Structure 1
Amino acid sequence: MQLTRLVYVSNHGGITENTLEHILAQSRHNNARDGLSGLLIVGEEDFLQWLEGGKTAVAQCFMRIMQDVRHRHIHVLLAGPIETRLCGQSSMQLAETSKLDGDLAARHDIAGAFDPDALSEETIEAMCRDVLSASQV
């Protein structure tokens, strides 16, 4: 199986805690079933999601996301083969920018107005690694 990553951003325009819990539960169920792992970073109005797993499973998951009305203005930031998983075997981890450590948020400029579109590939990967290791989300 060729491991693939896909990182996308979308706008949710503001999300309730109940809706976020539903998205997370559904993602964890589907991803565990499909052998995917990932990280969902939630800002005040935007999502940044890192997905990884088999190429077909990642593509099918992304097709479901593109049909989900809770995601608007979806676009891919990174996609392609990877050697190892960044997120381990966790089906979906969650990090809310409002709950991140202040130093980590400042280091990656993800405090306040989170603008995932302005991030480089290196910054995205470093940010996700730091969020995963610091938060133990």
Structure 2
Amino acid sequence: MQLARLIYASTHDGLAIEAVDRILQKSRANNERDGITGALIVGERSFMQLLEGDRSRVAACFMRIMQDDRHRDIRIILAGDVENRSFLEWSMHLINASRIKEEILSRYLIDGQFDPARMSEAAIKDLCQALSAGDWEKEAA
């Protein structure tokens, strides 16, 4: 198996939490079946998703995503082979951008917004590394 990582960004029309939950449930079931791990970061009007697994299975997963009309303006940020997974424990972890600690998120905001489609590849890699290291979530109020 050749381990691959794919990171993409897309926009959405503003999804209710129930719709995001449905995406997450379906993604987790598919990813567990296919041996894919990763994270889905949801912003106010954007998605950023990192997928890791067998190259052919990640490609098939991404093709399904491309057919999903909830995604608009899909942009591949990074795709390639890797030695190790960043998100080994997560079949698909949901990260709400508003829950990321300010000291982490503020480094990646563009015009005050989380907009992964406008972030550089280096910034995306850095953000993914910060999230995979853990301790990124704000304390509950």
Confirm or deny a common fold (TM above 0.5): yes
1:19-98 matched pairs, under 5 angstroms = 19-98=19-98
Partners of 2:118 and 2:73 in 1: how far apart?
Answer: 15
Q: Which amino acid aligns with 1:34?
A: D
Partners of 1:66 and 1:92 in 2: how far apart?
Answer: 17
Contact 1:97/1:110, CA 8 A, preserved across alignment: no
Which one has the bigger helix percentage?
Answer: 1
How far the C-alpha of 1:115 sits from its partner, in A, is 1.4
Tell me which residue corresponds to 1:14.
14
Q: Which runs of 5+ in 2 are unaligned?
A: none
Contact 1:5/1:80, CA 8 A, preserved across alignment: yes
Q: Give the direction of change, closer, same or farther, for the CA distance of 1:57–1:65 in structure 2 (3 Å limit).
A: same
Q: Give the direction of change, closer, same or farther, for the CA distance of 1:112–1:14 in structure 2 (3 Å limit).
A: farther
Identity of aligned residues (%): 46
**Partner SS, residue 74 of structure 2:** strand
Partners of 1:111 and 1:129 in 2: how far apart?
Answer: 22
**Partner SS, residue 128 of structure 1:** helix
Partners of 1:23 and 1:120 in 2: how far apart?
Answer: 26
Partners of 1:43 and 1:112 in 2: how far apart?
Answer: 12
Alignment length, in residue pairs?
136
The CA deviation string for residues 40-86 of structure 1, in whole angstroms up to 9 with x for no partner, is 11110000000010011001000110111111111211101011001
| Runs of 4+ off more than 3 Å | none
Q: Which runs of 5+ in 1 are unaligned?
A: none
Tell me which residue corresponds to 1:134.
135
